[in-house]
A and B are shown apart, each in its own frame.
Chain A
Amino acid sequence: MTLNPADPEQLRARARAVRRSASALGSLDTDGLVVRADESTWCGPTPQRCYDELTALRSTLRSTVDEMIEVARHLEAQADVAAQDGGTARIVLS
């Protein structure tokens, strides 16, 4: 698909897709994963590294969800502006 930043409908469609991805990512039970990896399940050097990596992974995925939602908001805002200006305005994503 050729991206057209002046096409409000395409921008809204992209925003919806990004929100779906964010929603799928946010629905993962990373808390449960970390809890299941703690010392009540296993302990030792390998288990601790696993626990530490899962804890870091949880944090990464949470921030990734936030980033995706922010991208979706920008796309939606850009679509609104494009609709008002007849496709001449543009919002540059940071």
Chain B
Amino acid sequence: MMASGAAPFRETLETFGRHGSLAGILTRPTVDPSSPVVLLGAGIIHKVGPSRASVDLARALASAGHPTLRFDLSGIGDSPRVDEPALDRTAVLDIRDAISLMGDRFEGDDDVALVGFCSGADNGLYVAAEDPRVTRLVLFDPTVHRTKGFDKRRRTRRLTSARSWWNVISGRSLALELKDRIADESDRPPGYYGLLTQNRDETDRRVAGLVQRGVQILYVLSQGCHDYCNAPEQIEESLPTGYSRDSISVLWAPEMDHILSTRDQRDRLASAVLSHLHDRPLRKSEVSDVPLRA
């Protein structure tokens, strides 16, 4: 148990889950708590998050009344590996255990929000579709499937980009493409990333189920996803049956990077998450087209 001077939150250390082995930190408000939040980490970064963003976000949300849990999946950070047959299923069970912990500690356990970073966002989408206790989702740079619109926009930008023309003339484009094709498979990122990433149809089906259930979803797309998502409308394009304007919001944020490296970026994310939790619509400027960085 602890308190930090006059800070509007306090933090408790939690060891929880079906094996009693998951390590987490629960940041609690010092006022009556609102709906709880579970943060889902990125890749193999431990529970402090990229650029310590999970720590800052948990404290910002708790300061606004939302108890927030950050924790390590089994085998990552301070949570030991557990002996279970399927790694992806272990991640699902770990996240469910985290939701249960928040349900046990706070009333209204059927109103839990998941906020996921990168692969944590993919994990959140996957679990939320199977767990009726989740009512809100924030997906920071999740997998967004490529669409015809993506290809068309990319071609258009290349045609109007001086750098692209220089790459063609100098032969750099060909060299890069060859390098990509002959790259040793062992040089690829291992399976830790996108553990629960689904194919496009499966993602669409899961989002459709969430929308039908009334789950509110906020996509936050930083410049870190521009290699695979080059416009906010790609969310709608990639979810032909699941997309719903009433249930899905998109914060197109090219001024943010993938690791939320500055305080401004982290503050803006906290503000967007709080707006989402409190049913405040995002400002028009946040959901409309913003010029893409070159």
Q: Do A and B come from one complex?
A: no
**Contact surface of B with A, Cβ cutoff 8 Å:** none
**Contact surface of A with B, Cβ cutoff 8 Å:** none
